[in-house]
Amino acid sequence: EKYNYGVIGLGVMGRNLLYNIADNGFSTVGFDLDEEKVIELRKGVASGTKVVGSVSLEEFVSSLDSPRKIILMVPAGKPVDAVLESITPLLSPNDVVIDAGNSYFKDTERRRADLASKNLHFMGMGVSGGEQGARRGPSIMPGGDLEVFNLVKPMLEVISAKVNGEPCTAYMGKGAAGNYVKMVHNGIEYAIMQLISEAYDLLRKGANLTNEQLYEVFKRWNEGEMNSFLIEITRDIFQQKDDVTDGFLVDKILDKAGAKGTGKWTSQEAMEVGVSIPTIDIAVTSRILSAYKDERVKASQLYAKEEVKTPEDTELFIKEVGDALYLSTLISYAQGLALLVKASEEYQFEIPLKDVVKIWRGGCIIRSVLLEKFYLAYSKYENLSNILLDQEISEIVKDKISSLRKTAAFAVSNGIPSLGIQSALGYFEAYTTASLPVNLLQAQRDYFGAHTYQRTDREGVFHTSWQNVNN
């Protein structure tokens, strides 16, 4: 008796993904070195599904159909290499190993080459949606060899989330494209989370909203054009009472952010390929800054802030903050998508941007109704270099830009930190400016280092012996 799919790593994500595959009619076998996890797996098996668990890698491997299809759900980095090292000697030519974790794309390239030399297939596949997504339908971003993708496509399509009946999975391109797309997804996730937190700060410090009122605001936002997973969970967070003390849990949580690396990789990568993604960069660095809690407390005493001037019209203020959040979120997507366009050329991934935004519409952490608009934009013109250049999108932007400017100005004049909002606005202002003051910067470079410059009125590369007026 052979099984269709194998899953290695039976933590919550691995287990849930396995059950999801089994729910959809595939027999599955799970492996984990930790016997407790295998026992846990057996306990949750739904009736009518075929699931077994094993602590023996040999037994696990020999119980799989040929070619074997094995999904890894282990932490990115060394654990993936350790699993590959122990499993590859047990595999047969043409077997397929799919890494469904948040692996670094260059690791995937290396592992692909390594397994290919052993006649084995390796695929990097981004999976988003957290525990619930894995169980009920995630957004799935597979990349690599098309034939391998086609082999697992029917399974991926049934286990993924659906939007208008369409599966939230598609081929993301060659090589490590799947991991790359997931990395950028996470970079955008960081940016949106930062922006939502800043909007929250503005509403509580600027308009003195209580958690109950914040709940109502986010509820309203989620019912309209800002409908998205992150706005929805934020709404719910404002309702959560603390079961240790009185009051709301959110007020008891220490303001120091954690991070596991995918946001940082996105920023490093953007620098590497030369794409400007300041709002994602700011989101990464803001998490770093948040960790200086002790220093921040000291500095707040040294540099006491003036009292915030509460806006006269609270409703109008809430509307403007909402519009600012909507637009700065849109700008963060624009930055991340622009990175995908450039990286796709740089690494010859051939990433279909239209499919990226299509499969992000459901299942993943950054799902939002806004993605439907991006999908339409890419459906019209697949090679759009930046979503801000789309006519329809420009109408939305023009409608909200004054709110973004006003909200940014309010934050600045009241000393409320708003790195994300300022960066989104700053990016927009620069991106939409035909003539930047960089002519002066180029002159300086040429002045002190003979770095040369180009001219607006003539072809070619120029250098000038600049006059030092003091000589």
Binding-site members for substrate are: 102, 128-130, 185-186, 190, 260, 287, 445, 451
Which CB, 19 or 410, lies closer to ligand 6PG? 19
Distance CA 436, CA 451 (A): 19
Rounded to a whole number of angstroms, the minimum distance from the CB of residue 382 to ligand 6PG is 25
Q: Clarify whether 272 is annotated catalytic.
A: no
Give me the helices (H) in 167-313, please. Answer: 177-201, 211-223, 229-237, 262-273, 278-290, 293-302
State in Å, rounded, how far the first CA of the chain is from the last one. 90
Q: Can you tell me whether residue 203 is helix, strand or coil?
A: helix
Distance CA 278, CA 281 (A): 5
Neighbouring-strand partners of residue 126: 141
Q: Clarify whether 182 is annotated catalytic.
A: yes
Question: What's the length of the chain?
Answer: 471
Tokens of 207: 């308009």
45 and 51 Cβ atoms separated by less than 8 Å: yes
Is 128 a binding residue for ligand 6PG by CB under 6 A? The answer is yes
Is 259 a binding residue for ligand 6PG by CB under 6 A? The answer is yes
Which CB, 61 or 351, lies closer to ligand 6PG? 351
Q: Binding-site residue total for ligand 6PG (CB under 6 A)?
A: 13
Is 365 a binding residue for ligand 6PG by CB under 6 A? The answer is yes
Residue 180 CB burial class (10 angstroms; 0-12, 13-18, ≥19) = buried
Which residue among 36, 157, 174, 189 is the active-site one?
189
324 contacts: CB under 8 Å, gap ≥ 6: 199, 400, 403, 404, 406, 407, 408, 421
Rounded to a whole number of angstroms, the minimum distance from the CB of residue 460 to ligand 6PG is 47
Is 364 a binding residue for ligand 6PG by CB under 6 A? The answer is yes
Rounded to a whole number of angstroms, the minimum distance from the CB of residue 169 to ligand 6PG is 14
Q: In 10 A of CB 200, how many CB atoms?
A: 21
Which residue among 182, 358, 373, 400 is the active-site one?
182
Q: Which residues are annotated as a binding site?
A: 102, 128-130, 185-186, 190, 260, 287, 445, 451
Which CB, 138 or 175, lies closer to ligand 6PG? 138
Neighbouring-strand partners of residue 141: 126
Nearest to 266 by CA among 330, 316, 338: 338
Per the listing, tokens 């920023």 go with 267
| Contact track, ligand 6PG, 157-196, x by CB under 6 A | -----------------------------x--x-------
Which one of 257-265, 307-315, 412-420, 422-430 is the stretch in contact with ligand 6PG (CB under 6 A)?
257-265
Single-letter code of the amino acid located at 131:
E
Is 12 a binding residue for ligand 6PG by CB under 6 A? The answer is no
Tokens of 116: 């290919």
Closest-by-Cβ residue to ligand 6PG is 128
Is 262 a binding residue for ligand 6PG by CB under 6 A? The answer is yes
Catalogue the active-site residues.
182, 189
Residues that bind ligand 6PG (CB under 6 A): 102, 128-130, 186, 189, 258-260, 262-263, 364-365
